[in-house]
């Protein structure tokens, strides 16, 4: 086990663990003694009908979405019980660097979006006894999970807000994942995932960070030197102290487990590859939220899927931050997203 201080309660807590046991994956392999790490804000009411599920993006943890939760915000813990489950392989839940044996490191199995959703469903129904979710939302890979939830458990999901992500990963998005995965795996320490140090592949992680910087913020963000608004004096400082600093402490195998999951994300697998059928089965009142000039997930790709969902609306948020508007580093982005959560939660779905 390669202990990595990044993936700790200290850095990302508090979070709890739910024991999934030996967990059968879509691939047919069983993840041994699997643990689902989740954070929870607010309390489940007696009727168990005030729950919100907020799923997590690539390279992120439940901690990174906490700014959307708080008294006075749409995701108000005084009213709702908000559960944020961390991805299998994502670092806090069972992941390549926190298990021993044959499934450690490069031996970690392929995990799918469906595996996450089934594990989360088990937590919510078997552990908490929840049968109804007021809202399922998530950003990027979180949107992939949101779609999977709304498609697989249509009667349980009352409202859905997939944000800047797709039900089916597009070819271009898949190529993006290839490019940043190759940037990481080109590291001289990579050794096909059997590196020797918990902070290995620093050069590869730096290159990956630059690919994210390139595609993550809009060209206009750079042109207008908007990095000043998020606290940096120069582009170089932002690259180093924001992007590189974000990825540098992470575990390469964990990132690549998530990357593969991202790339293979396809909620139409449960309808024989028929995406129209999959999306038209969604019963939730759905806001498909897209970010203008998002280079990861163009608005057009979100719009394409939104049109296939009956009770849905497309909400396009203008932002210089592109895909990373969700981080809410610019207050206007946070406010718009928060207000969409509020508007969706106030929609009558009875």
Of 74-82, 109-117, 123-131, 211-219: span binding a copy of itself (CB under 8 A): 211-219
**Is residue 182 part of the contact set for a copy of itself (CB under 8 A)?**
yes
CB of 308 to a copy of itself, least distance (A): 14
CA–CA distance, 224 with 262 (Å, rounded to integer) = 31
What Rg, from alpha-carbon coordinates, does the chain have? 19
Task: Give the C-alpha distances (Å, rounded to integers) separating 219 from 183, 214, 295, 340.
Answer: 21, 8, 10, 26
- Applying CB under 8 A, among 90, 91, 162, 204 the residue interacting with a copy of itself is 204
Site string for a copy of itself, 294-313 (x = CB under 8 A): -x--x-xx--x---------
CA–CA distance, 257 with 231 (Å, rounded to integer) = 32
CA–CA distance, 179 with 215 (Å, rounded to integer) = 11
**Is residue 273 part of the contact set for a copy of itself (CB under 8 A)?**
no
| CA-closest candidate to residue 150, choices 132, 139, 136 | 136
**Is residue 248 part of the contact set for a copy of itself (CB under 8 A)?**
no
Residue with the two structure tokens 């759905």: 286
Is position 294 annotated as part of the catalytic site?
A: yes
Q: Which is nearer to a copy of itself, 159 or 206 (CB)?
A: 206
Helix-strand-coil percent breakdown of the chain, rounded to 5?
A: 45, 15, 40
Residues 6+ apart with CB under 8 A from 62: 12, 15, 37, 38, 39, 54, 56, 84, 85, 86, 92
CB of 104 to a copy of itself, least distance (A): 26
Structure tokens, 210: 């630059």
| CA-closest candidate to residue 18, choices 130, 105, 106 | 130
Report the first-to-last Cα separation within the chain, whole angstroms.
Answer: 49
CB of 232 to a copy of itself, least distance (A): 12
**Is residue 213 part of the contact set for a copy of itself (CB under 8 A)?**
yes
Is position 140 annotated as part of the catalytic site?
A: yes
**Is residue 233 part of the contact set for a copy of itself (CB under 8 A)?**
no
**Is residue 318 part of the contact set for a copy of itself (CB under 8 A)?**
no
CA–CA distance, 89 with 134 (Å, rounded to integer) = 27
Residue 295, Cβ density class (10 Å: 0-12 exposed, 13-18 middle, ≥19 buried): middle
Q: Which is nearer to a copy of itself, 308 or 347 (CB)?
A: 308
Number of residues that bind a copy of itself (CB under 8 A): 34
- Applying CB under 8 A, among 79, 210, 229, 270 the residue interacting with a copy of itself is 210
Query: How many residues can be counted in the chain?
Result: 350
- Applying CB under 8 A, among 49, 189, 220, 241 the residue interacting with a copy of itself is 220
Q: What is the DSSP letter of 168?
A: B
CB of 324 to a copy of itself, least distance (A): 14
Q: Is the separation of the CB atoms in 239 and 213 below 8 Å?
A: yes
Is position 173 annotated as part of the catalytic site?
A: no
- Applying CB under 8 A, among 3, 8, 125, 188 the residue interacting with a copy of itself is 188
**Is residue 175 part of the contact set for a copy of itself (CB under 8 A)?**
yes
Q: Which is nearer to a copy of itself, 173 or 266 (CB)?
A: 173
**Is residue 168 part of the contact set for a copy of itself (CB under 8 A)?**
no
Which one is catalytic: 267, 301, 323, 333?
323
Q: Which is nearer to a copy of itself, 203 or 332 (CB)?
A: 203
CB of 158 to a copy of itself, least distance (A): 31
**Is residue 214 part of the contact set for a copy of itself (CB under 8 A)?**
yes
Of 35-43, 44-52, 186-194, 269-277: span binding a copy of itself (CB under 8 A): 186-194
Parallel, antiparallel or unpaired: strands 133-139 and 51-55: parallel
Binding site for a copy of itself (CB under 8 A): 170-173, 175-176, 178-179, 182-183, 186-188, 203-204, 207, 210-211, 213-215, 219-223, 225, 235, 239, 295, 298, 300-301, 304
Give the residue numbers annotated as catalytic, written as ranges: 140, 294, 323
């Amino acid at each position: 086990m390669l202990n990595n201080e990044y993936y700790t309660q200290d850095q990302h807590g508090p979070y709890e663990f739910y024991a999934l046991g030996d967990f059968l994956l879509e691939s047919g392999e069983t993840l041994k003694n699997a643990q689902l790490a989740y954070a929870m804000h607010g309390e489940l009411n007696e009727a168990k009908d005030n729950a919100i599920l907020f799923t997590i993006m690539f390279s992120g943890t439940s901690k990174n979405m906490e700014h959307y939760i708080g008294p006075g915000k749409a995701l108000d813990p005084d009213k709702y019980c908000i559960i944020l489950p961390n991805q299998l392989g994502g670092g806090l839940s069972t992941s390549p660097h926190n298990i021993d044996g044959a499934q450690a490191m490069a031996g970690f199995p392929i995990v799918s979006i469906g595996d996450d959703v089934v594990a989360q469903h088990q937590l919510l129904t078997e552990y908490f006894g929840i049968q109804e979710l007021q809202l399922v939302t998530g950003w990027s890979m979180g949107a992939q999970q949101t779609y999977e939830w709304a498609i697989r458990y249509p009667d349980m999901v009352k409202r859905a807000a997939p944000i800047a992500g797709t039900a089916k990963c597009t070819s271009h998005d898949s190529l993006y994942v290839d490019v940043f995965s190759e940037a990481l795996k080109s590291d001289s320490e990579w050794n096909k995932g059997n590196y020797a140090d918990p902070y290995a592949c620093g050069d590869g992680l730096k290159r990956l960070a630059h690919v994210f910087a390139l595609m993550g913020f809009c060209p206009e963000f750079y042109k207008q030197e908007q990095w000043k608004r998020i606290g940096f004096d120069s582009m170089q400082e932002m690259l180093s102290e924001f992007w590189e600093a974000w990825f540098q402490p992470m575990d390469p195998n964990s990132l690549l487990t998530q990357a593969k999951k991202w790339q293979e994300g396809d909620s139409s697998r449960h309808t024989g590859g028929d995406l129209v059928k999959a999306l038209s089965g969604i019963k939730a009142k759905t806001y498909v939220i897209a970010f203008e000039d998002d280079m990861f997930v163009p608005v057009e790709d979100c719009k394409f899927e939104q049109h296939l969902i009956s009770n849905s609306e497309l909400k396009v948020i203008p932002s210089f931050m592109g895909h990373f508007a969700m981080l809410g580093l610019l207050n206007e982005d946070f406010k718009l997203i928060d207000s969409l959560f509020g508007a969706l939660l106030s929609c009558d779905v009875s």
